[in-house]
Amino acid sequence: MTVTLDLDASTSDAPTRRSLTNVSLAVAKCKKIIVVTGAGISCSCGIPDFRSSDGLYALVKQQYPDVVLKGRDLFDASLFRDTTSTAVFYTFISQLKKSIDVASPSPTHRFIKTLDSKRKLLRSYTQNIDGLEERAGLVGTSSQDIKTHGKGKSKIRTRDVRNVQLHGDIHRVRCTFCSADFPCMPQHLETFLSGSAPECPECAARSTARVARSARALKVGKLRPAIVLYDEPHPLGDDIGTIQTADVARKPDMLIIMGTSLKVHGFKKLVKDFARTVHETAPSASTSAGSPLKKNAKSFAGKVIFVNKTAPGSEWDGIIDYHVTGETDRWCERVIEDWKKARPSDWEVQKTLVATGELATTGTFHVAKEITNTLGAKAKGTKRKNHRKHENAPVPDDDIFDITLPLPEAPPSPSKRPQSRCHYNDVESSPSKKSREGGAVREPVQFEERGLLFGNATNSKDQRRQANDNFDLGVNRTVATKKSRKARAQVEVVLETRKGLRKMAAA
C-alpha cells in the first residue's frame, strides 16, 4: 500500500513531518540510489510547458492554424510520413531548443549532482531531452567525452555514464541516412524554424568527391533532432540495456522517482524492474530492531519513493511505497536541509591554501583544492595521529623542511670510492697494500728456543714466567696479556742427577 506524505501538511501535522524527516535521513544513509526523472523536474527552469495558453503548442498553432495535432503526435515516429506534420515537428523543436538554451538547472538537478558528489548515486535515468543534467555536472549518454571510436560493439564507455538519456538529446542532430551526429548549431535552428531540414555535411562531401571522380552521385541525407520518438528504436539501445543490467546486478538500496506520470510503456517496465530489485534488498524486521529513531530511519531503506504533484495509478500499489505530494524542488531542498542537520560530517570541506607572491612580502593565499567529506565517517581500523594539540599552533622550526635546499649526494659504491675516503691513511695502510707497493716486509716468526718445553728449565717458575712475558710473534705492537689465573694446586718434580744416584748405589 502506498503511503502519501503531503509537503504542505508537514508544517502542521507532526506524524507527516516526522515521516518526511525519516525519508530524508534514509536518503542520507543509502549508498546506491537510482534516480528516475521526467519533465516535471524542469518546469521551474524557465522552459514553457506544452499545453498552457502560452505554451509551445499554442505557438505552433499560430504558424500552422489548419493542422490538428495532439501532443503525442508531435513525438511519434509516424509524423515523418507526412510533409506537413514533419514541418510542424521541425518548427516545434526549433522553438523548444531556443527555450532550453536560456534555461538553467533547477534545485532538483543540483540535488542529483549532490548525490553523485557524495558517492550515493548509482545512476540517473531521465526522460528529458533538455540536457540540464549534464549542465549540472552529470555526464550523459550523448556526451562526446564518452564516445568510443574502436571496432567494438559498444558505442560509449558505459562505466563513465552518470545520466542515461532515454529519449536522446535535443542539443545534437543526426543524419537520417548515415546516422552521423553533430552539435545543433544556430544555422540548423533557422532551417528547422522554416519547417525544413538541413543536409548532412558528410553525405554531401562523399557525394561531391564521387562526382569529381566522374562517378555516380550518392544520396544526401537530412539532419533531424537527435531525440527518440515514440515507436522508434534508440540508437544506443544496446548500451543502455547493458547499463541497466549492470545496475540491477549491483542491487540498489533506494529508488527515487520524480516529475513523471509513469505513462510510457518502456519507462514503466524499467521502473518496475528497479523497484523489484530495491525491495529485495530491504532489511528484515529483526535487522531493523533497535531504538525508535534508528528503527524508523533504517526501515526506509529498500523503499521506492515517488515525488510528484499527481498521485500514481492503482497499478503501482505494492510497487511505490511512499508518495510525496508537492514540487520536486521543495522536497529536494528539504532533504538537503535535514541531511545537514542529521549528518553534518558529510558536509565538511577541507581547503588547501597555496601562497602566491614572494615570501618576503607576505603574499596572499588562494584556495587550490577543496575536498568534501564524501564518506561521512572515518574508515574502520584507521586512526589519525594528532601531533599538535591546537589547530592554529605555530609550526616549530624543526618541522620546517625546505625542498629548495640541495640534498646531500649519495655515497659512491665501494669499488668507485677514492683513496681519500678509505679508512686507512698514508701511514697506516693495509698489509696487502704495503706488500703490493714494495714496502717493508714483515719478518717471519723466529722461535729461538725450540726445546723450551722439553729443557731442564721447564719446571723453573722464574724462567717460565719470564718466557711468558717476553714471548713475541714478531709484530711491532703491544699485545695486552690477560691476567692469568692462580693454580689451585702446585706440583713440583725434582730430578736428581746420575752422579748422585751412583754415589747412593756405592754406599
Kindly give the pairing relationship between strand 33-37 and strand 181-183: unpaired
Q: How far apart are CA 206 and CA 20, in angstroms?
A: 60
Question: Which of these, 27, 304, 280, 266, lies nearest to 164 by C-alpha position?
Answer: 266
Write out 257-309 in H/E/C secondary structure.
EECCCCCCHHHHHHHHHHHHHHHHCCCCCCCCCCCHHHHHHHHCCCEEEEEEC
Provide CB contacts within 8 A for 347, sequence distance 6+: 339, 340, 372, 373
Question: Which of these, 170, 187, 186, 165, lies nearest to 224 by C-alpha position?
Answer: 170
Provide CB contacts within 8 A for 302, sequence distance 6+: 253, 254, 278, 279, 280, 281, 282, 283
Determine the 3-state secondary structure of 356 from DSSP.
coil
Per the structure block, which three cell numbers stand in for 468? 711468558
The rounded radius of gyration (Å) of the Cα atoms in the chain is: 46
Can you say whether the dihedral through the CA atoms of 145, 127, 125, 107 is positive or negative? positive
Residue 381 to residues 22, 118, 263, 378, 412: CA-CA distances in angstroms? Answer: 30, 22, 49, 9, 42
Scan for cell 500514481, then name that residue: 312
Provide CB contacts within 8 A for 355, sequence distance 6+: 363, 364, 365
Can you say whether the dihedral through the CA atoms of 431, 434, 438, 442 is positive or negative? negative
Angle between helices 292-299 and 14-29 (to 10 degrees): 70
Q: How far apart are CA 133 and CA 106, in angstroms?
A: 9
Write out 98-133 in H/E/C secondary structure.
HHHHCCCCCHHHHHHHHHHHCCCEEEEEECCCCCHH
One-character DSSP codes across 149-160: -SSSS-SB-GGG
Could you give the residue numbers annotated as active site? Answer: 167
Angle between helices 265-280 and 237-249 (to 10 degrees): 20
